[in-house]
Structure 1
């Protein structure tokens, strides 16, 4: 229990919640002591509005983002207050302001957070309207609150400048360990391999986000503020984690064939599975050590585990004899080589946290590393291009604007106590997707009712304002900590915080709770209905786009691999960028699939086909990574005509699939059978040339020659598998479009 509490208080979410809680509480306490409670409360609001924009990035972008957000929230509040006295102007102006505030989210994650803050500021501006100079002062206090939050955030940064990166690295190591654990689960004879692969795909989504956060901070900091030993160490760890995942993805085994082959000698496979679990366990322990900020001490002796697998291979060979065991030994040796490579990489990560690393120099690679960052620029053209119903941003902004305006009018016409609670509920729970809005609507209502009841019980029993104030601060801190991970708990605690604040300010607390629950119900209902009926963003409408991007990213990655194989030399940055994009796009496709599963059954169109295409794309990525890893780690001859022919067939299939998804005219293969004959010929040619070259290589001894032949066979099998996968992708893409022509 204690360990869980320590882990929670060390988390990024808790640290972020601590920043905004401190930035909100200090002004209230300070100005209340001076007799200016309202000023302190307004400054606290400014801090609360601004904190969502404090997202992972380098320090320069963080400061700019927070200042701009503080300026936006103070300006929109001022505009609402100045225009409100003129009804004929106010309603159309409010609609335009809401729409534009929502539309700025087209510029990426930070802009999305700034948009959310602006909408919060507009909604809560109706809690206490001001006129004239008073309105200017009120908005200036909000801006001051944003700047105060920036100061608090910078203090946290400079007190522990590397803590955020360490926590993100810890999460990255933990998720990578989980990924390797799933790889080990595949070796259970009765494993549901389809379900395990789906879990790996879900995990890929989380890993993509962690990797992007780390790129923004680690590479961004190098570009803006130079290098440091800690930044260099974390960058080494991050790059190694990506390589560990790629190596795991690129090494595929035919589990059914292996279990059948070793049915009479299961101890060899058990030895390997045990090693696979130890790899995951080592990373998991390392993650816990980094999270606790404690010195890492290696627990597992991975060399001993490798020796154990080697002993199992030797025992298998001795039991069956060299000739009869040759195929099995080759399979097991291939597994051993994979494990050895993973151990080498895990040792690099272990060294980073147990001793200093100075042998990696990135000074000459700064410009190359910067290419991995998402560009930060905000051209007006991007906004103009999205002023169309084809844009999901435009439809969501229009939907959100209409819903908030409707909520405002209902609140004005009917005897609601606090109209802004209806608007706030709509802003907080309404998302572009139906599934997430539905889930948040339920959690919002549930949390509001539960939190209201618990807080009312406490306020009824406790009448000490200091005690209630402490309860309020604790609820705010923990409630904000759970905003991303558990919205139900977050809403419950934030509701309790609101009730405690009103319990201090007003005696009629029961009426406050009743109206908050009613307002939340109205806001949640409006948000839910709007997402269902107003230009709904059903995932099946976007499925073709996600599929197209995933297939194209796979194709580009494969082209980079083929080009590197043909040209050799140093691995180009374009190769790594293509690999990164392939990982990201398969994650985006899986995220879309997850959202579709949350939607009504009637809207889950083509769900089986999308799932199959997601799995096939993941398998193709695995096969491509396997080929790329082989080419990088082995001395290979020039790419043959047969190799390029097979790659061209795979790329042609992928291009054909992309064209179909774009609803463009395609050139149908007229000589399918001839292509199959050609493929068979080229596969045989690849085998003949590779084996002939190895047979005539006098520098190789018998064991080395046999090993090289087996590796050559592996490459050919990957090419056969890739061809089969690309054929299946093309076939299912045709089925998908045939059933979904629009």
Structure 2
């Protein structure tokens, strides 16, 4: 079935809308407005744990969801008001739910959903209501949403993966635009700033690639592979190849700008990158509209113009600088090949033995090993689990002792705004307060202007739907709409909304203050700054990536799964470093002198991955070598460079200096074997560029020691 061209967020919100419509219709038909809140909360909880999967996987997820929600809801319901048992249940549930998140996406999603359901159960508890009513309606709501999403999946089975792929090509377009800025000689003085911007955009690409991989993995687990799935798989591999080529660095861009500033070649290269970025946007738009992509003739003319300009330049200059520019343009021509053959290589993809790496390793034994490895205060997840458990335990104790029944809104606020790091928590607190203040201003007026049950049900339907529409990109908007929905649902239950307005405001403020205090004083993330470990992991992953490239050189270019996993892990580690530096830059007073160390590590890491990617992009052009001895020595030298990169954080200063001096000697000897061979020249140049980053890498990692943070952090706290 052809998917209509509708905004992706609207499409993803449709199951929520229809589930809510069915729920409010049932409430209206039964004339039971008092059950509106648990029914709606069940739908919300079901949507929070909705994971993309094939149909058998979705059925399995529904069973798991119902079992987990039943346990958590009944546990909260049966122990509510019992004092210590209830406090222990909520505290243990919080700790286990957060800790399970390290195992994988599905564990994290289901565990968080179970914790949310337990909290929801406390919000709708009434002593006069039979014990089974609220849990039952929460489960009904969850089941209703699950069935609705199943129906939508049957109608639009490929929509999620197409949307993920469209997002990947959009991110790729932004990355190409950022790379095009490197070829503007008038902006050469700002290349360092451009490098940081490119690193941040690379993080977005890795996130979208991982979503694509997850969607494709679940659709390829069965024996039958739908032609649309194979088409998306080809798009995914093409995007990965384009990303590797664009990430490649063959020259020093500052030197290139100086040499080419008076030629048309550098401007043609920048224009070609911009047009390729526009082509990626066109591909994304075609995916969203379910139309085939048409290769741009203008892009083809730009490629021909670059070829002609390169030919004229090569006639005037000789040597390594021409070889480097040729390699750079050959990479861009490789990108052009992928774009021009995107729609007519599906048969090749269907005939190849291809696969997608699992998104998470299954099995309880693996889960336990993963959790056990995190049971220490060096783990950010463990610190967050302990922090949130303490906060939950203390809050539940206060509510139980004071008999303040509305206090569990404080608990919900803490759950939603308290994040593993200070920056994310602060951002959520601000948005939560703004959204709640505006929400109570509007929601408190609903009973006065819409006294009928029918009108209130329509408001519940609209506000809950809009909550999901804005949930992933506008937290303040989603908070506003869910506040309106909550107050309207309470009005339907016969409660005094005006009194609840002030308690809701107070609870939000109290919960926000508690969350801020928790991330500021309970094992704050700046005290456990892992910049050195994150940077070392990024460098080490690049070493592993280089090992796999050399193996491909030796054994033939196959682009197998092991190679793609190594490449992905290198980019994921770089993205993790980029994310850490981004968090640090939002709090310069806290991180003090470590911020510059973070930026240095980030620049070096991305320079390194660029040089290695250039070798990776050259795999399919590697010709059979003669018996001059260069190739054998190159492989040995490159493996040694990769070994140093993989273990760079373990070297003492003396040992590293010894390894570095030996590497310089080997590179000097390797240069004597290059002779007048273009391929040898390219390989020697790239391995020299990679080796040239060894000393900056080691220096940057050593200077990133977490115990050297200046006391600015204490002042900020």
Tell me the distance in 2 between the aligned counterparts of 1:414 and 1:85: 11
Deviation (angstroms), 1:213: 1.7
Deviations 1:234-257 (A, max 9, x none): 100011001011111124343333
After superposition, the Cα gap between the structure-2 partners of 1:450 and 1:649, relative to the gap in structure 1 and judged at 3 Å, is same
Residue aligning to 2:713? none
Aligned 1:43-54 pairs, distance under 5 A: 43-54=39-50
Query: 1:722: which partner in 2?
Result: 690
Q: Are 2:121 and 2:134, in contact at CA under 8 Å, matched by a contact in 1?
A: no
Structure 2 CA distance for partners of 1:726 and 1:78, relative to 1, 3 Å: same
- The whole-number CA distance in structure 2 between the counterparts of 1:328 and 1:647 is 22
Residue 706 of structure 1 is matched in structure 2 by none
Please say if residues 609 and 736 of structure 1, whose CA atoms lie closer than 8 Å, have aligned partners that are also in contact: yes
Q: Contact 1:104/1:112 (CA < 8 Å) preserved in 2?
A: yes
| 3-state SS in 2 of match to 1:371 | coil
In 1: Cα distance, 2:289 partner to 2:353 partner:
34
Report SS of the residue matched to 2:524: coil
Partner residue of 1:658 out of 649, 654, 657: 649
Partner of 1:512: 500
Q: 1:225 to 1:137 in 2, by over 3 A?
A: farther
The reply on whether 1:536 has 2:524 as its aligned counterpart is yes
Name the CA distance, whole Å, in 1 between partners of 2:249 and 2:139. Answer: 54
Please give the secondary structure, in 1, of the residue aligned with 2:362: coil
Aligned match for 2:396, one of 408, 413, 425: 408
1:594-609 paired onto structure 2 within 5 Å = 594-599=582-587, 601-604=589-592, 606-609=594-597
The one of 205, 229, 233 aligned to 2:231: 233
Q: Report the Cα distance in structure 2 between the residues aligned to 1:314 and 1:602, rounded to whole angstroms.
A: 53
- Aligned residue number for residue 364 of structure 1: 353
- Kept in 1: contact 2:83–2:397 (CA 8 A): no
For the residues of structure 2 that align with 1:363 and 1:132, how far apart are their CA atoms? 64
Aligned CA distance change for structure 1 residues 238 and 462 (closer, same or farther; 3 Å): same
- For 2:682 and 2:126, the matched residues in 1 are separated by 74
The equivalent of 1:733 in structure 2 is 701
Alignment of structure 1 residues 548-587 onto 2, 5 Å = 548-568=536-556, 570-587=558-575
- Judge conservation of contact 1:186–1:196 (CA < 8 Å) in 2: yes
Aligned counterpart for 2:622 among listed residues 606, 624, 634: 634
Task: State whether residues 82 and 132 of structure 1, in contact with CA within 8 Å, keep that contact through their aligned partners in structure 2.
Answer: no
Contact 1:448/1:517 (<8 A) preserved: yes
The root-mean-square deviation of aligned C-alpha atoms, in Å, is 3.1
Q: What is the TM-score normalised by the length of structure 1?
A: 0.86
State the match for 1:100 in structure 2. 96
Paired with 2:161 and 2:527, the residues of 1 have a C-alpha distance of 34
Contact 1:47 1:146 in 2 (8 A): yes
Give secondary structure in 1 for the equivalent of 2:704.
helix
Decide which of 355, 363, 380 is 1:377's aligned counterpart. 363
Q: In structure 2, how many angstroms separate the alpha carbons of the residues matched to 1:580 and 1:471? A: 45
Displacement of 1:219 after TM fit?
2.8
- CA drift of 1:530 comes to 0.8
Structure 2 runs not aligned, ≥5 long: 711-717
Give 1:473-552 correspondences, 5 Å limit.
Answer: 473-506=461-494, 508-538=496-526, 541-552=529-540
1:337 alignment counterpart? 330
How far off is 1:617 after superposition?
1.5
Out of 398-407 and 122-131, give the one that drifted further: 122-131
**Deviation string for 1:419-457 (max 9, x for gaps)?**
221111011111111111111011100111122224445
Q: Within the alignment, does 1:682 sit opposite 2:669 as a pair?
A: yes
Partner of 2:715: none
Greater Cα shift, 539-548 or 718-727: 539-548
The answer (yes or no) to whether the contact 1:82–1:131 under 8 Å persists in 2 is no
1:697 maps to none
Moved more, 126-135 or 394-403: 126-135
State the partner residue of 1:145: 141
Greater Cα shift, 158-167 or 600-609: 600-609
- SS of 2:705's equivalent? helix
The aligned counterpart of 2:634 is 643
Distance 1:129 1:495, change over 3 A: closer
SS at match of 2:473: coil
Separation in 1, partners of 2:700, 2:649: 12
Q: Say if 1:472 and 1:501, in contact at 8 Å, map to a contact too.
A: yes
SS of residue in 1 equivalent to 2:699: helix
Provide the rounded CA distance (Å) in 2 between the counterparts of 1:33 and 1:457: 25
Match of 1:699 in 2: none
C-alpha separation in 2, matches of 1:97 and 1:671: 52
1:58–1:218: 8 Å Cα contact kept in structure 2? no
- Greater mean deviation of Cα atoms: 514-523 or 540-549: 540-549
The one of 171, 184, 187 aligned to 1:188: 184
CA deviation after TM superposition for structure 1 residue 39, in Å: 4.9
1:282 maps to 2:271: no
Higher RCO (C-alpha under 8 Å, 6+ residues apart) = 2
Deviation at 1:50, TM superposition (A): 2.3
Between the two proteins, the alignment pairs up a number of residues equal to 700
Q: Give how far 1:327 is off.
A: 7.8
Query: Could you say if the C-alpha distance between residues 411 and 21 of structure 1 is closer, same or farther in structure 2, counting changes exceeding 3 Å?
Result: farther
Report the Cα distance in structure 1 between the residues aligned to 2:555 and 2:620, rounded to whole angstroms. Answer: 12
Distance 1:439 1:569, change over 3 A: closer
Q: Which residue does the alignment assign to 2:714?
A: none
In the alignment, what sits opposite 2:385? 397
Preserved contact between residue 99 and residue 397 of structure 1 (Cα < 8 Å): yes
Structure 1: state its 5+ residue gaps: 1-5, 695-708
More moved, 220-229 vs 371-380: 371-380
Residue of 254, 269, 281 corresponding to 1:272 = 269
2: distance between equivalents of 1:362 and 1:421? 56
3-state SS, counterpart of residue 102 of structure 2:
helix
Cα 1:522–1:335 change in 2 (3 A) is: same
Q: Could you tell me whether the CA contact under 8 Å between 1:251 and 1:338 is conserved in 2?
A: no
Deviation at 1:91, TM superposition (A): 2.9
Q: Compute the displacement of 1:151 (Å).
A: 0.8
SS at match of 2:419: coil
Aligned to 1:668: 655
Using a 3 Å threshold, how does the CA distance of structure 1 residues 324 and 241 change in structure 2: closer, same or farther? closer
CA offset at residue 539 of structure 1?
7.4
- Partner Cα distance (1:621, 1:447) in 2: 42
CA distance in structure 2 between the partners assigned to 1:333 and 1:670 by the alignment: 35
Correspondences of 1:140-289 after superposition (within 5 Å): 140-191=136-187, 192-265=190-263, 267-289=264-286
Deviates more, 1:587-596 or 1:57-66: 57-66
**Are the equivalent residues in 2 in contact too, given 1:623–1:721 (CA < 8 A)?**
yes
1:113 to 101, 109, 117: 109
Q: CA deviation at 1:486?
A: 1.7
Q: Distance in 2 between matches of 1:440 and 1:244?
A: 35
Alpha-carbon distance in 2 for matches of 1:431, 1:564 = 42
In the TM superposition, residue 481 of structure 1 has moved relative to its aligned partner by 1.8
Match of 2:431 among 433, 443, 450: 443
Looking at structure 1, the residues matched to 392 and 588 of structure 2 have their Cα atoms a distance apart, in angstroms, of 24
1:50 and 1:66 in contact (8 A); partners too? no
CA deviations on 1:60-89 (whole Å, 9 max, x unpaired) are: 433323432332222122112222353353
TM-score normalised by the chain length of structure 2: 0.89
* Alpha-carbon shift at residue 566 of structure 1 (Å): 3.2
